[in-house]
Chain A
């Protein structure tokens, strides 16, 4: 057989195996988009989206590791950005404490895997990773449903301070668990960085386990302030092998991210971000446009006093906000901005009082 014919035959076999089907289910896997900011210092327990869009840091059971998460401007060949964790203070997790980085895939996008149904396919996670701390790290993939199932597998960082590509294939999940296939989260990928002893167990295939677990040998990234961990090129695809990372334009990725998080952040004083009509003397109702329809009605985070309702050269400083509604499928959100001394039925501009003013709309999974 000629080399060309062989190549075509191999391609056909690979397709039949499901090796090159599907697309990347992970949004912002190249770590290009960081709407909230390029760096954040974390000192508390909890779950938070701090820098890179769609990637969350997770600290449970009162575990409050001190670290900085940032969008680093380095990466392996073909990648200009990465997510970086820098340890700011050493920490030793106990019992069931965990710290890791995770990202969630919406149910609509997870449905292609068939996970949680008789037609389940294998899935493959691939990524580039770098750390000064070599050794074993765990990954855990969850399938959300009436019962949440998860599976764990480890990977090894072999060489310090060197980008390494990892590919991990997970078995099919044919146990029916009424998987989420709409706007709820469907799949969650967790990269463990620091775990208490109770949650370090032998790698397992799918089991009814909705809590964080990692694999035997898991290193503790938090054991030195010299430690760091970087990741980029994160890809999850259907099949028993990894696809090449499907690069896309910054604009495409930004629009995808804005389904889950959008902010009006003019970064200047006096910027107008919408027209609001006073309804009584304390409330003004307005519409804030978004670039794409959001996944769900968002949570609004803002500092009220960063904004004013302005009319005829006079600004009334805001003292509160609330979300009124999301118009399903539409790219705008109803917002109630509050201030004292409004004149009913008058139209005001919502105006930034300082450069840090921002309206953040969070519809994350």
Chain B
């Protein structure tokens, strides 16, 4: 239902595990948690499943 323009996404890791995603959504850099109840994470994953977005691995 949301309508987000996501132009970049990259996992952030701590202690060897991914903890969140740094993404640019509607021109703003945000840090989204890996929580399906979070609307940004849900939309990121929806776009990944749709094949319109790729999440880069953590540095």
**Which residues of A are at the interface with B, using a C-beta cutoff of 8 A?**
44-48, 58-60, 142, 144, 148, 183-185, 188, 210, 279, 283, 295-302, 320-326, 336, 362-365
Contact = CB atoms under 8 A, between A and B. Distances in A.
Contact of A301 (B4, B30, B35, B41): B30
Q: How large is the interface on B (under 10, 10 to 19, 20 to 34, 35 or more residues)?
A: 20 to 34
A183 B37 contact: yes
A59 B3 contact: yes
Greatest chain B CB density within 10 A among A45, A59, A148 is at: A45
B50 to A, nearest CB: 16
A283 B29 CA distance: 19
A184 B36 CA distance: 10
A361 to B, nearest CB: 10
A297 B3 contact: no
B3 A283 contact: no
Contacts of A188: 1
Given A60-B3, A188-B1, A296 B35 contact: yes
B35 A324 contact: no
22 contacts: A46-B26, A47-B3, A47-B26, A210-B1, A295-B37, A297-B35, A299-B31, A299-B33, A299-B40, A300-B20, A300-B31, A301-B29, A301-B31, A320-B22, A322-B14, A323-B20, A323-B31, A324-B14, A336-B12, A336-B19, A362-B39, A365-B39
Contacts of B35: 296-297, 326
Interface in B6-58: 12, 14-15, 19-20, 22, 26-33, 35, 37-41
Contacts of A325: 33
A336 B17 CA distance: 13
Contacts of B37: 183-184, 295-297
B1 to A, nearest CB: 7
A325 B15 CA distance: 14
Given A279-B15, A297-B33, A322-B14, 13 more contacts: A44-B5, A46-B3, A46-B26, A48-B26, A142-B1, A144-B1, A183-B37, A297-B35, A299-B33, A299-B38, A323-B31, A336-B12, A363-B38
Greatest chain B CB density within 10 A among A323, A325, A365 is at: A323
B30 A58 contact: no
